[in-house]
Amino acid sequence: MSTARKGVLASFEYLDSTVDSIKQLKAQGFDEITAFAPFPEHHIEHALGYGNSPVRLFTLVGGLTGMATGLAFTTFTAMDWPLVTGGKPILSIPAFVIPTFEMTILFGALFTVVGVFWNMRIPDIRSQVVYDPEFSSGRFGVYVTAAPERFDEARQILEAHAPARLQDDPEAEAHG
Amino acid sequence: MATATDNVDRGAATHPDVRSYTEVNTDILAMLSRPGKWWWILLGLSVAGIGLLAFSWGNQLINGIGLSGLNTPVGWGAYITTFVFWVGIAHSGTLISAILFLFRARWRQSIYRAAEAMTVFAVMTAGLYPLIHLGRAWHAYWLFPYANQRMLWPNFRSPLVWDVFAVTTYFTVSSLFFLLGLIPDIAAARDQSKPGTLRKTFYTLTSFGWRGTDRQWHHFGKAYLFLAALATPLVLSVHSVVSWDFAMSIVPGWHATIFAPYFVAGAIFSGVAMVITLMIPIRKIFGLEKYLTVRHFDAMAKLILVTGLIVFYAYLNEFFMAWYSGEDPERRVFWERLFGHYWWATWIMLICNGIVPIMLWFKRVRHSIAALFVLTIFVNIGMWFERYVIIVTSLSTEYIPFAWGVYRPSVTEMGIVVGTFGWFFFWFLLFIRLLPPVALAELKEVLPPPMRPKSKQEEVAR
C-alpha cells in the first residue's frame, strides 16, 4: 500500500449488510477490501471471490517429503547394518510401509501448519491497529482502502449500509 | 438470501435455544472465569492422584521394577493394559473432530473441542506408560532411531518400533489440530479479557495476532480440512499398530487378523464413552444445557452402540475362531478366559461391553443423561478389563504348561494406574479454565446468521 492511501473500517451487525456493501464496493471498482468475521462465512468469501488456497501445496509437498524420508530412512538403516532377524529379508518393504506412512502424515501435518501460518500472515503484531473486538464475538467488518480522491466515495458506500461503528485509518495498514 | 434461514423450524436447528453470536461468547467464556467449588474439589483430587503417581513411580525407579507384579511368564501387565486403555480413549477426539468433520456431522460442534483436548491429554497419559514399564526410564531414548556408539539402528520390522512412530505422530498431529483450531477462539477470549491482566497477555501471545480476516479464514478453513484428511487415516492406523504389538506375535489369543479393526472399534467405543462421562459433569457444573442438548448425547450414544456391537461381534468371533482353528493352545487360552483363573475379568468385560450397551437400543436410555452417565462408566471399566484380559490371560497360559503362571498387580502398579487418572484430570481441569472448552467459531457457523430487519418498503414490495 502506498502511504498516500487512506482506510476505513465498518462494523456491521448483519450479514446481508456486510455482503451487500462488499458487492457494492467491488462494483464501484474498490478492490482493496478486507472482511472480518467471527467464523468462516462463505457468503463473504464468495463476494470477495476466492480461488484455491496455496496451503494445499504445502500439505502435498510435506506428505511426499515425509514419505520419501520414511522410505529412505528405513531402507538406509536396514542396509547400514544388514542383520537378518526373524528370517525376514533385509529390505522388508511391507514392514517399512508402516513407519513410512506415519512419517507421511507427520510431515504433511507439520508442513500444513507452517503453510497456514505463512499464508494467514501470523504471528502478526499489528492485530490491534484498526480492529473491533466485536469481530471475534458477533460482528462482521469491512475494511477498505482507497486513494484520497476516491476515499469519500468508499466511505459513503459503507455508511449507506448502516454500520454499527465506523473507524478511520489514516495509515491504511490494516489489510490482512 | 435473507429468507434462507428465516423459516428454519426449531427441530432442525442444532442449538434451538441459542439466539445470538454474542450470547455464545458470553456463555462459553464465562466458564473461564468462574471456577466454582466443584472445580477446586476435583483439582484437589487430581493433584492427590499425581502425588500418588509420583510416590509410586519414584519408589519403583529407586527400588526397581521388581516392585511390580511383572515376572515370567506374564511380562506385560497393568502398565501395558493401561497404556492401551489411554491410547484407546484418545481415539474418539480425533474421530469426532476429524472424521465427523469430513462427514459434515453438524452435531459435533459443541463437543469436539473438549474431545480433542481429551485426546491430547489421554496420549500424554498413555505416553507415560512405556516409560514406567521400561523400569529404567532414563534409557527411554533408546526407543528412538538415532546413531548410537555402535551405529546400531532400531529394527523397523518390529511392531514396537512402529508403535513409537505411530504414537508420537499421533500426539504431534492431534496437538497441532487441537492448537490450530483454538487460535480463533483464543482470539475471542483475548478480545473479551480486561487489558493489563495476565490472561490478556497469555491470550494475546497464544492467538498469534489472529483478527478473523477473510484471508485468515480462507486459509484456516483449507488447512483444517487437510489436517482432518491427514488425521483420519492416522487415527485408524494408530490403534491398528497398537493391536499389531500383539497380533504380530505368535502368542495364543493374540495372533489374529481381526485385531486391527477390533481394536479400532474398541478404541472409539471407549473414547466416546469417556467423552460422555466427562461432558455430563461439565454440562451440569457450567450450565451448558443450551449447547449440549439431548440430541448431542443421543448421537454419541448411537456411536457407542454401533462400535459396541462391532466389539461384541469381535469377542464372539474370537471364541469361535479359537474353537474352529482346532489348535489346542488357542482353545486352551479361550477356555481359561471364561472359566480359568481370570474368569471374573472376562465376565466383567463381556457384561460391561457386550450386554450393558444393548440398553442403548432404547431411545429412553439414550435420552436420559443420568442413564448415559452410569452406562458409560460401565463401558470405561469394561474396556480397561478387555485389555487386561487380552494381555494377561494370553501370557499366563502360553504353549508350554510347565511355564504357565499367574500374575497379580502389585500395590505399586495399582498406585500408578490410579495416579495417572489424576494426571489426566489435572490437565483436563486446567484446560476448561484456561482455553475456550467449546468451539465458539464453529458453533456460530451452525447458528442462523443475523439479517437486517425488513424495511417497510421491502415488505410492501413482497
Spell out the domains of chain A, with CATH numbers in brackets.
6-51+127-169 (3.30.70), 55-120 (no CATH)
Q: Do A45 and B217 touch (CB under 8 A)?
A: yes
Question: Distance from first CA to last CA of chain B, Å, rounded?
Answer: 14
Q: Sign (positive/negative) of CA torsion B318, B324, B329, B331?
A: positive
Q: A33 and A48 in contact (C-beta within 8 Å)? A: yes
pLDDT band at B445, cuts 50/70/90? confident
Q: A135: exposed, middle or buried (C-beta count within 10 Å: 0-12, 13-18, 19+)?
A: buried
Measure CB to CB from residue A99 to each of B162, B180, B190 and give the nearest one. Answer: B162
pLDDT in tens, B296-342: 899 999 999 999 999 999 999 999 999 999 999 999 999 999 999 99
Cα separation, B389 vs B382, in Å, equals 10
Radius of gyration over every alpha carbon of chain B, rounded to an integer in angstroms:
24
Q: Do B25 and A138 touch (CB under 8 A)?
A: yes
- pLDDT for the residue B212: 87
Cα separation, B111 vs B97, in Å, equals 9
pLDDT in tens, B50-71: 999 999 999 999 999 999 999 9
For chain A, list residues with pLDDT below 50. Answer: 1-2
pLDDT in tens, B83-115: 999 999 998 888 888 888 888 887 888 888 999
Q: Do A40 and B25 touch (CB under 8 A)?
A: no
pTM for this model (two decimals): 0.91
- The β-bridge relationship of strands A165-169 and A140-146 is unpaired
Spell out the domains of chain B, with CATH numbers in brackets.
21-140+154-450 (1.20.1630.10)
- pLDDT for the residue B7: 42
Å between A152 CA and nearest CA of chain B: 23
- pLDDT for the residue A128: 61
Res B377 pLDDT > 70: yes
Of A13, A25, A34, A39, which to mutate for an interface test with B (greatest number of B Cβ within 10 Å)?
Answer: A39
Over residues B390-417, the mean pLDDT reads 93
Q: What single DSSP character describes residue B95?
A: I
pLDDT in tens, B170-226: 999 999 999 999 999 999 998 888 888 888 889 988 888 888 888 889 999 999 999
Q: Do A38 and B208 touch (CB under 8 A)?
A: no
Residues of chain B above pLDDT 90, percent: 62
Of A15, A65, A102, A134, which to mutate for an interface test with B (greatest number of B Cβ within 10 Å)?
Answer: A102
Å between B210 CA and nearest CA of chain A: 7
Phi, psi of A134 (to 5 degrees): -70, -15
Res B6 pLDDT > 70: no
Q: Which residues of A touch B440 (CB under 8 A)?
A: 38, 136
- pLDDT for the residue A163: 86
pLDDT band at B451, cuts 50/70/90? confident
Q: Which residue of A has its CA nearest to B29?
A: A137
Other Cβ atoms within 10 Å of B10 Cβ, number? 7
- pLDDT for the residue B20: 82
DSSP string, B408-462: ---HHHHHHHHHHHHHHHHHHHHHHHHS-SS-HHHHHHTSPPP-PPPPHHHHHH-
Angle subtended by helix axes B112-126 and B259-286, to nearest 10: 120
Å between B299 CA and nearest CA of chain A: 24
